[in-house]
Amino acid sequence: MSHSERLLLGPGPSNPYPEVMEALARPVLGHLDPEFLAVLDETCARLRSALRTSNALTLPVSGTGSAGMEACFVNLLEPGDVTIVGVNGVFGERMCEVARRCGAEVVRVEEEWGRAIDPQRLLDAHSGRPEARLVAVVHAETSTGVENDVAPLGALQETETLLLVDAVTSLGGIPLEVDAWGIDAVYSGTQKCLGVPPGLAPLSFSARAAERVRSRATPVPSWYLDLGLIGEYTGAARRYHHTAPISMVYALHAGLGVLLEEGLVASWERHRSAGAALQEALPPLGFRLLAEEGRRLPQLTLAGVSDGVDESALRSTLLERFGIEVGGALGGFAGKAWRIGLMGHCARERSVAALLEALSSELE
């Protein structure tokens, strides 16, 4: 069955790089084949470069970004642990729910959707609960297009509390410095700014996060996501755990190759430039930029639709007539706004031009 080709300008997935699609067509090897293991090792090395880290425990988890989220929480939390979570959108809420299911006591630090969380509020919450195992925050909140400031949270390195960061929409799109910012655990997804189809969750644990896994009093409650076991497969032991998604590892290897060949700084600038062009052009067409000024993501724009415009019908027209996908909003913004993504291969002037031309023709 054939289907239409789309320009994917929603909150993800984005269109993959051509090199990634070529990689997906390579012959499938066994998950213990030496040739595949060489690709896996190089993929992990490329992930370290992309994340700006030297963490030994850096690997792609089998599953999408939410699997990366769950892997972090189930490995680092035990029943009764306290975790502090920044909540200013859907994915902060999801962190709270996953932590709750791990049996943790969740301390919420909330901010209005569309506004960034002051990192000092998270540090103050930690001062009130210094026994917390984790402080967790979303770097790029996909539901609102807001960037939370992570770097000041590196102050937690002076404590026993680990810093966990959701980088699903930030990796490859905006600056992310895992080691320099003192991030202990970070996870991402392939389908956003890495220009790879959905299916893997890049993840990295610092030495002290890895030690937390080793020193648990109780077993990791998820066998499939137990990083102690998975790490033995991706590490020197090569001990079988589960069958790796071979072709997706090829794809991630290729996508990271594109990113690193372009250069991280160049990729960040390309995303910044495309996002700025879009955000400058939207208000004259009647859209409102709803994320806090100064904290807006370039790769994900929350755009309020003019009163009287049927946002769902207009999105359908863009898809059916022009082959362009944009995303609807979530939470209190649902039915009132769009989420427009310019990520990975789609973060280019031609994507902005195509969308603006289509919108101009429909909003005349």
Percent of residues, the chain, with pLDDT higher than 70: 100
Tell me what pLDDT residue 308 has.
87
Integer CA distances (angstroms), 337 to 8, 11, 28, 58, 317, in order: 17, 13, 42, 36, 16
What distance in Å separates the CA atoms of residue 339 and residue 353, rounded to the nearest whole number? 17
Tell me what pLDDT residue 360 has.
94
Residue 3's pLDDT band, with cuts at 50, 70 and 90, is confident
Long-range contact list for 178-183, CB < 8 A, 24+ apart?
A: 178/51, 178/52, 178/53, 178/55, 178/204, 179/52, 179/53, 179/54, 179/55, 180/52, 180/151, 180/154, 181/150, 181/151, 181/153, 181/154, 182/153, 182/154, 182/155, 182/156, 182/157, 183/53, 183/150, 183/154
| For residues 75-94, average pLDDT | 98
By DSSP bridging, strand 7-8 and strand 324-325 are parallel
- Partnered with residue 340 across adjacent β-strands are 301
| For residues 45-73, average pLDDT | 98
* pLDDT tens, residue by residue, 111-169: 999 999 999 999 999 999 999 999 999 999 999 999 999 999 999 999 999 999 999 99
Q: Which CATH number fits domain 18-260: 1.10.600.10, 3.40.640.10, 3.20.20.150, 3.40.630.10?
A: 3.40.640.10
Which amino acid is it at 259?
Answer: L
Q: Is pLDDT at 88 greater than 80 in this prediction?
A: yes
Mean pLDDT of the chain: 97
In degrees rounded to 5, what are phi and psi of residue 347? -85, 70
Contact assessment for residue 133 and residue 163, using Cβ atoms and an 8 Å cutoff: no
Burial pattern 336-354, b for ≥16 Cβ within 10 A else e, equals: ebbbbbbbbbbbbeebbeb
Residue 364's pLDDT band, with cuts at 50, 70 and 90, is confident
Tell me what pLDDT residue 122 has.
98
Contacts of 322 (CB under 8 A, 6+ apart): 7, 354, 358
What distance in Å separates the CA atoms of residue 79 and residue 112, rounded to the nearest whole number? 29
Torsion of the alpha carbons at 221, 139, 249 and 17, rounded to the nearest 10: 160
What distance in Å separates the CA atoms of residue 328 and residue 185, rounded to the nearest whole number? 30
Which amino acid is it at 345?
Answer: H
Tell me what pLDDT residue 4 has.
84
* pLDDT tens, residue by residue, 297-351: 999 999 999 988 999 999 999 999 999 999 999 999 999 999 999 999 999 999 9
Tell me what pLDDT residue 1 has.
76
| For residues 232-259, average pLDDT | 95
Tell me what pLDDT residue 236 has.
87
Q: Domain coordinates of the chain in residue numbers?
A: 7-12+264-363, 18-260
Tell me what pLDDT residue 246 has.
98
Contacts of 362 (CB under 8 A, 6+ apart): 314, 317, 318
Q: Is pLDDT at 206 greater than 90 in this prediction?
A: yes
Contacts of 263 (CB under 8 A, 6+ apart): none
Q: Which CATH number fits domain 7-12+264-363: 1.10.357.10, 3.40.50.360, 3.40.50.800, 3.90.1150.10?
A: 3.90.1150.10
Same fold, 7-12+264-363 and 18-260: no
